[in-house]
Every structure is written in structure tokens, then in C-alpha cells.
Amino acid sequence: MRGAAEIIPSHEAKGGHGGGDKVMLDELFLDNVPADPLRRASDDRGGAASVRIGSAANVCFETGQSVTIDELAPGWQKPSYAAMPGDDFPIVMPPLRSKKN
């Protein structure tokens, strides 16, 4: 931000779902799970939420109507996510560089 453009290489993994399938299978079946630098592992609540979202999508495809997760699973609770900054959270901007004309 406010600096020169730079190229940042992206992480590339092989396999289904951008390499996520291997991460999931390792998590399920290995005793010593290798570290995942992209932190793609989910807990049971995140997995259940994903299933609910997929189910809601299928209902939408079949009916052409919108559907909420609460309609399919009344009383469900969202997984815990890391706290995100609110509208009142100050974002510190880098200083402007002086322009040379």
C-alpha cells in the first residue's frame, strides 16, 4: 500500500480442492499430522456449517428459491471465528511518500 508494486508468489498445491483434500485426509488418518502453513483444517463446527451450506445450495438449485440455514437446521450455532475489526477499529495508514516532480 502506497509503495511500489511487487509480485507475491502464491502457494500452489497439487490434488483436489487446491491440495485441501490431502490436508483433510492427513488430519483424519495420520497420527502425526504435518503442519499446514495455510491453516486449512476445520473443526467439527466448521465442517457441519459447510454441510449445511451445501444442503441449502441444493435446495436453492432444486426450487429456484432462497433458503436460510435456519430453515434447514433450526437452532444451529455458527462456528467460532477469529475476531474481526469493526467499523470503529482504526486502520493505521502508511505515511505518504513525497512526490518528486
pLDDT digits (tens, 9 = 90+) for 5-15: 888 888 777 88
| 37 domain residue, yes or no | yes
User: Which cell is 8 given?
Assistant: 507475491
Print the domain residue range for 66.
16-72
Predicted local confidence at residue 100, as pLDDT = 61
**Cα 90 from Cα 86, distance rounded (Å):** 9
Residues 6+ positions from 76 with CB-CB distance below 8 Å: 48, 49, 52, 69, 70
User: Which cell is 72 given?
Assistant: 434447514
Question: Using one digit for the tens of pLDDT, what is the confidence trace for 36-75?
Answer: 776 666 777 778 888 888 999 999 999 999 988 888 888 8
* Type of residue numbered 4: A
| 21 domain residue, yes or no | yes
User: Which cell is 93 given?
Assistant: 495508514
| 6 domain residue, yes or no | no
Is this prediction's pTM over 0.75? Answer: no
The DSSP symbol for 8 reads: -
